[in-house]
Structure 1
Amino acid sequence: MKEFVLLLLLAACSAKPFLSPSHVTLKNLMLKDMEDTDDDDDDDDEDDNSLFPTKEPISPFFPFDLFPTCPFGCQCYSRVVHCSDLGLTSVPSNIPPDTRMIDLQNNKIKEIKENDFKGLTSLYALILNNNKLTKIHPKTFQTTKKLRRLYLSHNQLTEIPLNLPKALAELRIHDNKVKKIQKDTFKGMNALHVLEMSANPLENSGIEQGAFEGVTVFHMRIAEAKLTSIPKDLPSTLLELHLDFNKISLVELEDLKRYKELQRLGLGNNRIADIENGSFANIPRVREIHLENNKLKKIPSGLQELKYLQIIFLHSNSIAKVGINDFCPTIPKMKKSLYSAISLFNNPVKYWEIQPATFRCVLSRMSVQVGNFRK
């Protein structure tokens, strides 16, 4: 009798638990489905050796797709599609329709076709930096009306793409071959706030009159171009304007008259030898001015009247003298922001001849950089 009871206990311990239909969970079904799919794939390997299978497993349990499609080789999660550094020569297909960001940088894409982003109505950001783009179809962005950020830097585009989304807030087309900005390029793009166009062979004559009419741009950079003067027809809403590494030789009275809201002005690494008196009076809100690496022989006039100016870079010029009232106001009780940075090094100025009161409106002595001139 004891032996019989022992055999029953051993049989009970080795038996598998009974699962009623109520214990069949989603996880169990998914695992079973994947096992069945693996078996089917082994049978189909002889018939389909392509990198992009045309047959997709269909789950017998669920009528919807549990695993959204993702372009081969890319990574997809949280409505973001990463396809960078894959050596792609074209935009991949099967991009999920609810995608919000696509990263295609560091590939070999030469052309964007009309239907490459068709149906991506939720697309917010598109990154195409460092490809070989020469052409973007005029109807490429017809359905991407929510696109806010477009990055096209380090390509071979000869013009800014036509029919850009009206909702675009940031466009970066640095280091291309753009020579001309046509009148209607940015028409109706009232939300465009950041425009980066540096390292393009753009001349003053290449900016058509009215090219920025009605556009609200706050930050613009056209550095490393072929500008010989400050463009006079840029958006009047500019808060930052960077024109470094151009061929500008003179700042005239009318050059800055349009940009009364300007807070940062970059004119470093040009050929500026003279700044006409009263030029800076047109930008009364400016806080930072870059004039380093130019050909100035004196401190520009009008700095002492700029109440908000805090940073002025004048190093690597030909300035031989600094006057006691070149930086600080002479009007009694005039309120002015204290300077946090004044750079005068690498100028032929005798720093020991500069009067201490010259920097009376500076935050601290560490804010002034004056050094010996080296030929």
Structure 2
Amino acid sequence: MKEYVLLLFLALCSAKPFSRPSYMTLKNMMLEDMEDSDDDDDDDDDDNTLFPTRTPANPFFPFDMLPTCPFGCQCYSRVVHCSDLGLTSVPSNIPLDTRMVDLQNNKIKEIKENDFKGLTSLYGLILNNNKLTKIHPKAFLTTKKLRRLYLSHNQLSEIPLNLPKSLAELRIHDNKVKKIHKNTFKGMDALHVLEMSANPLDNNGIETGAFEGMTVFHIRIAEAKLTSIPKELPSTLLELHLDYNKISNVEQEDFKRYKDLQRLGLGNNRITDIENGSLSSLPRIREIHLENNKLKKIPSGLQELKYLQIIFLHSNSITKVGVNDFCPAVPKMKKSLYSAISLFNNPVKYWEVQPATFRCILSRMSVQLGNFRK
């Protein structure tokens, strides 16, 4: 027994005194744990990052090492939610690794130069429904990964300068934009969706070269003051929506550059005439909206559109429907059958329409006729 007690005493005497880990040691340990956590997330798809079930490897993190979140906001998974808080400015302590910031439904009037400084990982920014009148030209200088920018329902008088070249979607609906200057979108090859409806924009407000060099697939300029189809829109367009404007005529030159266009929205305008050959220059078109206009006849060239499936012509002044207005004489020329043809609320004597008129439809339910009210 004496030998065991002697050995224990010697072991205690040779042990080094306890020392608290240094700040840098804790920092390195935390970084290692974060890296290990990222690796675990990659390997385990069932891991819940909001409510982790695993105990952290080191529970002694100093408070200043924990992620910060602006007062009143909610932060998780690199997303910062600060909507509906009555904010008058952008919070100053947004974590630098944030991927998305939601600031909609506030009272922010101005975006300053350094409001988003350092947010190099920012992917989406939502500023809808504020009181924005000014955005600093250098506000997006460091947000070089920004893909989605939502500025709708504000009071901006122009499209912000120096937008990130990485943008894929820009929505500036319901503002006070009256002019699109030349080179506004210069170098923005990744911009695929441009929504700028409900702005007081007319044809003279679109400068020559405003859309030069862009690869846009979707443009919507509805509820504006356009009196004709805008010229020199990007030739890459797949969808063009110009509903609720003051367009009165469609000319043959209007669509010649849009060979890939698939959806065209011209509803709720004042169109009285569509020049022969205007629509036949859209070989890939699948959907056309011409409802609520002043057309007196079926537009020519529809039978030449091989892929056209939906055509809305209701609420016009069409009085007659010919047997070859929709379908080609040679059945094999039609690649896609019609799924919707709307002709209701027109003064058409539908009982005089020949049954063969709709020989290239999917079913009888595809055609809407009658219900005309004076």
TM-score bracket for the superposition, by shorter chain length: 0.7 to 0.9
What pairs up with 1:222-237 in 2 under 5 angstroms? 222-237=221-236
How far, CA to CA, are the matches of 2:136 and 2:354 in structure 1? 62
Change (3 A) 1:60 1:349: closer
Whether 1:70 and 2:69 are equivalent positions in the alignment is: yes
- Matched residues in 1 for 2:61 and 2:213: separation? 52
Structure-to-structure mapping, 1:1-375, within 5 angstroms = 61-62=60-61, 65-331=64-330, 333-375=332-374
* Structure 1 residue 281 displacement after superposition: 1.6
Secondary structure at 1:333 match in 2:
helix
- What displacement does 1:173 show? 0.1
Q: Is the 8 A contact 1:203 1:227 kept in 2?
A: yes
Shift of 1:373: 1.4
C-alpha displacement at 1:148, in angstroms? 0.3
Counterpart-to-counterpart distance in 2, 1:308 and 1:151: 33
Give distance in 2, aligned partners of 1:258 and 1:362: 29
- CA-atom RMSD in angstroms: 1.6
CA drift at 1:282: 1.2
Inter-partner Cα distance in structure 2 for 1:332 and 1:156 = 53
2:332 alignment partner, SS class = coil
Structure 2 match to 1:17: none
Distance in 1, matches of 2:343 and 2:287, equals 15
Instruction: Write the deviation string for residues 57-90 of structure 1: whole angstroms up to 9, x where unpaired.
Output: xx99545745311000000000000000000000
**How far off its partner does 1:335 sit?**
3.4
TM-score, normalised to structure 2, is 0.83
* Cα drift, residue 336 of structure 1: 2.8
Contact 2:151–2:171, Cα closer than 8 Å, also in 1? yes
Partner of 2:50: none
Q: Is the 8 A contact 1:232 1:258 kept in 2?
A: no
- The Cα shift of 1:93 comes to 1.1
Q: Distance in 1 between matches of 2:280 and 2:269?
A: 21
| Contact 1:351 1:372 (8 Å CA) reproduced | no
Contact kept, 8 Å, 1:125 with 1:147, in 2: the verdict is: yes
SS of residue in 2 equivalent to 1:357: helix
Could you tell me which amino acid in structure 1 is paired with residue 296 of structure 2?
K
Distance 1:335 1:348 in 2: 28
Instruction: State the distance in 2 between where 1:335 and 1:301 align.
Output: 16
Listed one character per residue, the Cα deviations across residues 71-121 of structure 1 (whole Å, up to 9, x for unaligned) are 000000000000000000000111000000000000000000000000000
What letter corresponds to residue 143 of structure 1 in structure 2?
T
Distance in 1 (alpha carbons) for counterparts of 2:334 and 2:60: 76
1: CA distance, partners of 2:332 / 2:171: 44
* 1:248-301, Cα deviation, whole Å (9 max, x unpaired): 000000011111110000000000000000001211100000000000000000
Partners in 2 of 1:330 and 1:63 — Cα distance? Answer: 79
Letter in structure 1 aligned against 2:367: V
How far, CA to CA, are the matches of 2:245 and 2:297 in structure 1?
21
Contact 2:321 2:348 (8 Å CA) reproduced: yes
Supply the distance in 2 between the matched residues of 1:238 and 1:127 (Cα, whole angstroms): 25
Q: Is this contact kept in 2: 1:147–1:165, CA < 8 A?
A: yes
Structure 1 vs Structure 2: percent identity of aligned residues? Answer: 88
CA distance in 2, matches of 1:175, 1:335: 40
CA separation in 2, counterparts of 1:158 and 1:171?
A: 15
CA spacing shift, 1:64–1:372, aligned 2, 3 Å: closer
Q: Which amino acid aligns with 1:141?
A: F
Q: TM-score, normalised by structure 1?
A: 0.83
CA distance in 2, matches of 1:332, 1:67: 69
Aligned length: 319
Corresponding residue of 1:13: none
Q: Is the 8 A contact 2:118 2:143 kept in 1?
A: yes
Q: Distance in 2 between matches of 1:292 and 1:205?
A: 26
Query: In 2, are the aligned partners of 1:311 and 1:341 still within 8 Å (CA)?
Result: yes
C-alpha distance in 1 between matches for 2:237 and 2:293? 23
Structure 1 stretches of 5 or more lacking a match?
1-20, 22-58
What SS does the corresponding residue of 1:97 show, helix, strand or coil? coil
Instruction: Please state how far the C-alpha of 1:147 moved relative to its aligned partner.
Output: 0.3
Q: What SS is found at the alignment partner of 1:304?
A: helix
How many angstroms apart in 2 are the aligned matches of 1:132 and 1:145?
Answer: 25
In 2: Cα distance, 1:71 partner to 1:62 partner: 20
